[in-house]
Amino acid sequence: MSSKDCGGHGHKRRKIFRRIFAGILVFLFIVLVTILIIWAVLRPSKPSFILQDATVYAFNATTPNFLTSNLQVTFSTRNPNDKIGVYYDRLDVYAEYRTQQITLRTQIQPFYQGHKEVNVWSPFVYGTAVPVAPYNAVSLGQDQSAGAVQLMIKMDGRVRFKVGAFISGRYHLYARCDAYIQFGNRNAGVLVGNNAVKYTLAERCSVSV
């Protein structure tokens, strides 16, 4: 076989490989465009959160500037989409007072939320002898004297959206829920145990994804 024939066969093989590669690229492009069109048409809405109640087992400020707290918070999360599911890969819950975190993070087990589904969780969040910034300690003392404390219950997590067989990448989910605890009003809560008081809140949370 002459060198000319070998060169011709090599050129044909390269031409075939280029066609195969181009076909794969076109196929992947069509799949990607299809997914984007479906995603745009369905327009996934972010989940909604409602802080239903908070049961206070302990909330004690001590000198100098330490806070011990133990709360059980009940919140619901709803998937408003009728054709899109949501994977919660991670969801941490914790409490803040005036932008300062006062409890440890409590992790909710990963779960999948189907179309229009509602899930309810009641995790405990607590912190023992947590140092409080001096300026916050002054405000906390004033709030406790007034009989009411404004807390912020926060959820921080990662979610993925499921459309048919397609599952999106991870998105950062962040929810903020106001919790106005009226310690000074005996009628504001219900005694549920030894020194534990349950306060009904029914607060809609601010959610960003």
Q: Which residues of the chain have pLDDT under 70?
A: 1-11, 34-43
pLDDT score for 9: 58
pTM above 0.85, yes or no: no
Helix (H, G, I), strand (E, B) or coil at 193: strand
pLDDT in tens, 157-202: 999 999 888 888 899 999 999 999 998 787 889 999 888 999 999 9
pLDDT score for 105: 98
Q: What secondary structure, in 3-state letters, does 36-62 show? A: HHHHHHHCCCCCEEEEEEEEEEEEEEE
pLDDT score for 143: 93
Nearest to 174 by CA among 199, 204, 209, 144: 209
pLDDT score for 8: 56
Nearest to 139 by CA among 189, 99, 179: 99
pLDDT score for 10: 62
pLDDT score for 187: 83
